[in-house]
Every structure is written in C-alpha cells, then in structure tokens.
A and B are shown apart, each in its own frame.
Chain A
Amino acid sequence: MIITGEKYNISYDALDQQVNFEGYVRTTSQADIQTIMDYLVDLHGRQNGSLRLNFRKLRYMNALGLKMIADFLVYARQADTLTVKLIGSKVIPWEEKSLASLKGVWDSVEFLVHDDHFYGSQGIIEDADFIPLLRNQTRLLWPREKPVLVAHGLREGMRVADICCGCGDVALLIARELKPGSVVGVDHSGPAIEHANRLQKEFEVRNAEFRLGDATALMMDDEQFDFVICRLSLQIFSKPEQILRELVRILRPGGRLYLTGEDYDLIVGYPNERSVRDVYEKAGSYGQQIGMDLYNGRKLYSMLLGLKMKSVRVDTIDADNTGANRPIFAEVITSWRRFSAETIGRELRISEEERQQLLAGYDAHLATIRHPHGYTKWSVVAASGEKSK
C-alpha cells in the first residue's frame, strides 16, 4: 500500500521492513497526519524485530509531521515489541537536526545517517554492482513470483533451500510470507551472506538461516529438503549441470526443484522498440562472451526433463511498468545499464564507442519507461519438476 499526499509518497518495502518517505510532508491537515499515523501503527503490528523509517528522500517535514513521528515513537515505546530505526541523510540538514532530536522521546530509537554508518559493511555491499541490481529485481518480481511459488507447490511447513540466494531477500520473504518450516539460504558471496544474516537477525525471522557455501559442493545431507529453489543464477555459470546435480541430491524424492531463468528475447518495450531490442541482443551477446547464458529461461523445461523430473510445470513471471512499478522498473534498468556497460564492458574491454552504444540503448529503454504512455515488460521463466520417488 502506498499513501500519496499532495507532495509526498509513503510506501512500504517488505525486503527491508522499511517505510520509505519521499517528497515533502508539510501538511497542516490533522486528517492527513492521522492517515500516516494509522499506516505506521498498522505496519508496526505486522513486523518482528525492527521497523525502519527511511527519510532519505524526504526533502522537508514540518513540525506537525515531526510530532506525528514522535507520537508513533511513543506508541512503539509503549508497545515494546519492536525496535525502531530512523534513517536519514547527512545531505538533508533537517534530518540531521530534527530526526536526531527524536531520540529524546525514546532512547532505544536508533538514528542512522545512511551516508555515514548505516551498517558497517553496507558500503561494500551496495557499492558492488550486483547487490542493488538483485534487490531492485526482487522488489519488482516478488509480488508476481509469490503466487507462482505457491502454484509450483511451495507449502507451509516445508523444508526449503534457496541455493545461490544472494543477499537473502527472497529467502526471507518466503520465510515470512509463505511460512515454510525452515528456509536455508546458501551463497558463495561473504558480504551477501553477512547481509542476509543481519536482516534475518534484525527482523527475527526464526525460520530462516544463511550459510556461506559453494553451490557445486553443498555441505548438506542428501534428500534433506521438500522444495529446492535456484533463482536467476544458473545463467551465470558456464557449467550449470554441476549445480543442478547438487540441487537434485539435496531434494527428497517427491519434492520439487524450482528454477528461474532469464530470456532476453522476452524483454520488450514501446516506443523505442528497435533500440530496446538491439540493446538486449547486444547485452545477451556480451554475456555469452563471458560465459553467461541470458537466454537460459527457454532451456529450463529441457533441463528438468533431462534430470528425469516428473510433472514439469513452466510459467512466466511478467513484470511491467504499469502503476506503481514504473520507478522500480526504472531502477532495475539503471542497474542493468551500469552492470552491463561498466562491469561486463570492463571485463570484455569493449571500445568506448561500443560502450556509448550500449548506454544509449539502455537510455532508450529508460525513456520508454518514463514516457507517460510507454510500456515495457520483462518476463522471467519459472519452471519446476518433481523428483521421482
């Protein structure tokens, strides 16, 4: 749910248990203030661990707005079920001055200046190209993927493994919203697992845990899980069969293996349709040159049948830029743009001319998203199969 006022938007990001304030909260209307307060109280009742209030994109808040935040802190202090973190930016002076003052209301409130010390290793994590990319993709895909996971057989009480879980967002969302008995996330990236563990602890997600590990040599017993997930990851390995073998090994007979993959032919946009097509063909070809298969979505059905899986089911998860998704979608494309032109481009040592062409192509796609009547869709292939008994 999003609250939209004359000059502000207030939205909830389930990945971070975070309420994001944007624009200006300078209303003199008690009704507006009460609406925001009710929203915060409702969210407070639905969290474990902590709730973050993020003001980094809020240019101004008047004294009445500050009083409303103080009222919420008094409510949270009395309820005594969550910690509350206020996140500000040092480049917005009112936040530095006035948010810090709210600690006077409740000394357990943490005030974090994001640019300074918002989590020790966040700089490392968020400066890495792939983490913001993954998180933005999850923001876009999760509302559509959640029912797909259920349709593919994920049920309450199951033992779930998320292999190549990245920074753990999807595993944590599954743990909180689909209520499996347990979710074990594994990834080879130390900072990503640190990040996942920190969120797990902060949000008190007791049915999730994260481990550092190699997906081709998992330190896990055979046939341990009811539902094994590997999302948007097989595409980056030149020998995905090594991972698939492990995924099948840890899955119990009768359990389901769930895979998702990219297919760059399924990214479409209008207007600028030719430029949009061209840039993903180019990016797909660059990916291939460094061993990534950005068309592997179409191969998942064959892979699962090759593993002798039964009852194979295939769906697409379609994310488009309609409604509230427009800014998130733009963030995703911006992340792809940076990853493709900078990270992959540097790896392949593409020429400046090629780099500029790539950037121009992504810019054409961004223009499509920002065009008032523009439309774009990104489809991810989801496939699952049952392990034979």
Chain B
Amino acid sequence: MNQKIALMLPAKDFASDWRRFNLVANYIAEYASYFFEHRDRAENVISSVFYELLEHMAAISRDDAGLSVRLRTQDGRVLFEISSSNPRPEALELSRKLLGVLGSADIDSLYREILEAPSTDQAQLGLTMLAHDYRARFSSTEDPSGAVTLLATIGLEELIP
C-alpha cells in the first residue's frame, strides 16, 4: 500500500456522540482494506487500532481541536497517525508519561496489572491493549503551535493470517 488516506475531524463531534469513534474507525478501515491482500483481516485490525487511538486523542483534546487522521504503510509497517491541533496540557502530560511507560515497561506485566485492577483508566487501557495484543509501538511529536501527533505503528504481519 503506497496509498495514503487522511481525514480531518472536529474533536467536539466525538465528545457529543461517542458512536463516531466506531463510525470513523470502520470507515477508514473499510476504505484502506482494499489496499491489502487479506482484506477482511486488514479491515478488522485497522479498525480495532484506529478506534483506540481516536478515543485516546479525543480524550486529550479540547473541544475546539481538530483531529487529523492519517494511515499509510512504510518499511513493512502500518503507520497510524493522529494529530490534535489543541490538546489539553494536563491530559497531554499524562499521555507523554504513558508513552514513556509503554516504551520501557514489560508490556505483559503491565497489561495484566491493568486487566486485574479494580478500576479502569481508559486512556491507559486502550494503548496498552494495542501494545500488548498488536505489538504496537508509539511515538509522539509536538510542534511550536502546540499541536501534538501520536504515531502508532504495527507490523504488516499483524494483517496476515
């Protein structure tokens, strides 16, 4: 897949109706699935990953933020990119910490700990599940305007039976 798909969406739409996470994740996944050999599998994986990323980024964004969503492949990996034009500083700080933990922790133990915990930190849950079940890797960049971009990548082999 050399093609790229990109969408720009207002964060407040997700705040007003959470069903849009499902709608957007499925739309991108179905559209992009045609670029992959195992279409059904690609669709399910892409939708599952985008759903959690969208939830995470909507949760750290102010209502007036724009979310920019991109999907592409490069060097044997699928790249999921979501930018928020206006993140909430305190949520962004927590997100930075989480990405730091995901980059260094024993993911098996961390995920098990989260699953067994009596309460749920939704922001932590989704990304840790992706790191554990889809072997996703994460990085983020911030630009001078304050916008933040979360990049998640998974191996193309995750889309092959």
In the assembled complex, the Cα of A136 lies from the Cα of B92 at a distance in Å of: 52
Partner of B19, one of A6, A93, A98: A6
The answer to whether A372 has its CB under 8 Å from any CB of chain B is no
Contacts of B120 in A (CB 8 A): 64, 67
Q: Is B12 an interface residue (CB 8 A)?
A: no
Residues of B within 8 A of A59 (CB): 44
Bound state CA distance, A74 and B117, in angstroms? 10
Which of B81-89, B96-104, B122-130 has 4 or more CB atoms under 8 Å from chain A? B122-130
* B72, CB-defined interface residue at 8 Å: no
Q: Mark contacts of B98-137 with chain A using CB atoms, 8 A cut-off: 1 yes-contact digit, 0 otherwise.
A: 0000000000100110111000101001100100111000
Binary contact readout A65-90 vs B (1 if CB under 8 angstroms, 0 otherwise): 01100100010000000000000001
Whether the pair A101, B51 counts as a contact (CB closer than 8 A) is no
Instruction: Tell yes or no: B48 within 8 A of A by CB.
Output: yes
Q: Which of B1-58 contact A (CB under 8 A)?
A: 18-19, 21-22, 40-41, 44-45, 47-48, 51-52, 55
Question: A59 to B45, alpha carbons, bound, how many Å?
Answer: 11
Q: Find chain A residues with CB under 8 A from B122 CB.
A: 28, 63-64
Compute how far the CA of A27 lies from the CA of B126 in the bound complex, rounded to whole angstroms: 13
Please, what's the 1-or-0 string for A23-40, where 1 marks a CB less than 8 Å from any CB in chain B?
010111100000000000
Taking CB atoms, residues of chain B closer than 8 Å to A101 are: 111, 129, 132-133
Does A105 contact B116, Cβ atoms closer than 8 Å? yes
Question: Bound complex: CA of A173 vs CA of B19, how far in Å?
Answer: 39
Inter-chain contact A62/B52, CB cutoff 8 Å: yes
Q: How far is the CB of A56 from chain B (nearest CB, A)?
A: 13
Which residues from A are CB-within-8-Å of B52?
A: 62-63
Asked, given contacts A28-B55, A28-B122, A60-B22, whether A93 binds B48 with beta carbons under 8 Å apart, the answer is: yes
Q: Which of B21, B108, B115, B134 contacts A105 (CB 8 A)?
A: B115
A24 touches B22 (CB 8 A): yes
* Residues in B whose Cβ lies below 8 Å from that of A93: 41, 44-45, 48, 158
* Cβ of A130 under 8 Å from chain B: no
Min CB gap A339→B, angstroms? 30
Shortest distance in angstroms between A176's beta carbon and chain B's nearest beta carbon? 32
Inter-chain contact B51/A26, CB cutoff 8 Å: yes
Contact call B18/A27, Cβ cutoff below 8 A: yes
Cβ of A306 < 8 Å from any Cβ of B? no
Size of the A side of the interface (Cβ < 8 Å), in residues, is 27
Contact A104 B22 (CB under 8 A): no
Assess whether B134 is in contact with A97, with CB atoms less than 8 Å apart: yes
Residues of B within 8 A of A27 (CB): 18
Docked-complex contact A28 and B47, CB < 8 angstroms: no
Query: Cβ of A303 < 8 Å from any Cβ of B?
Result: no
Q: How far is the CB of B27 from chain A (nearest CB, A)?
A: 13
Chain B residues positioned under 8 Å from A98 (CB to CB): 129, 133
Interface string of A92-123 (1 = CB under 8 A from B): 11100110011011000000000000000000
User: In the complex, A62 Cα to B52 Cα: how many Å?
Assistant: 7
Q: Which chain B residues (136-155) contact chain A, with CB distance < 8 Å?
A: none
Across the interface, name the chain A residue whose C-beta is closest to B113: A104
A60 touches B133 (CB 8 A): no
Asked if A70 and B116 sit within 8 Å, CB to CB, the answer is yes
- Given A7-B22, A105-B112, check contact A66 B129 (CB 8 Å): yes
Closest chain-A Cβ to B58's Cβ sits at a distance in Å of 10
How many angstroms between the C-alpha atoms of A389 and B114 in the bound complex?
A: 67
Complex CA–CA separation, A105 to B129 (angstroms): 14
- Judged by a CB distance under 8 angstroms, whether A91 is at the interface is yes
- A28-B18 in contact (CB<8A): yes
Contact A70 B115 (CB under 8 A): yes
> Nearest CB to that of B120 among chain A residues?
A67
Measured in the bound complex, the distance between the Cα atoms of B22 and A60 in whole Å is 9
Give A91's nearest chain B residue, CB to CB: B40
**A62 x B51 contact (CB < 8 A):** yes
Q: How far is the CA of A27 from the CA of B20 in the complex (A)?
A: 11
Q: CA A91 – CA B45 in complex, angstroms?
A: 11
Residue of A nearest to B128 (CB): A63
Our pick among A60, A67, A90, A97 for the contact of B115 (Cβ within 8 Å) is A67
> In chain B, what residue has the closest Cβ to A99?
B133
How far, in whole Å, are A13 and B71 apart by their CA atoms in the complex? 40
Report the minimal beta-carbon distance from A35 to chain B, rounded to whole angstroms.
16
Q: A28-B122, A104-B108 are in contact. Are A60 and B51 (CB under 8 A)?
A: yes
The 10 closest A-B pairs by CB, nearest first: A70-B115, A97-B133, A63-B126, A63-B129, A28-B18, A63-B125, A104-B112, A93-B44, A94-B48, A98-B133
Task: Provide a sorted-by-A list of 27 A–B residue pairs whose CB atoms are within 8 angstroms.
Answer: A7-B22, A26-B51, A27-B18, A28-B55, A60-B44, A60-B47, A62-B21, A62-B126, A63-B122, A63-B125, A63-B129, A66-B115, A66-B129, A67-B125, A70-B115, A70-B116, A93-B44, A93-B45, A93-B48, A93-B158, A94-B44, A94-B48, A98-B129, A98-B133, A101-B111, A101-B129, A105-B116
User: Knowing that A63-B122, A93-B45, A105-B115 are A-B contacts, what are 13 other residue pairs whose CB atoms are under 8 Å apart, sorted by A's residue number?
Assistant: A7-B22, A60-B44, A62-B21, A63-B125, A64-B125, A64-B126, A66-B115, A67-B120, A70-B115, A91-B40, A101-B129, A102-B115, A105-B112
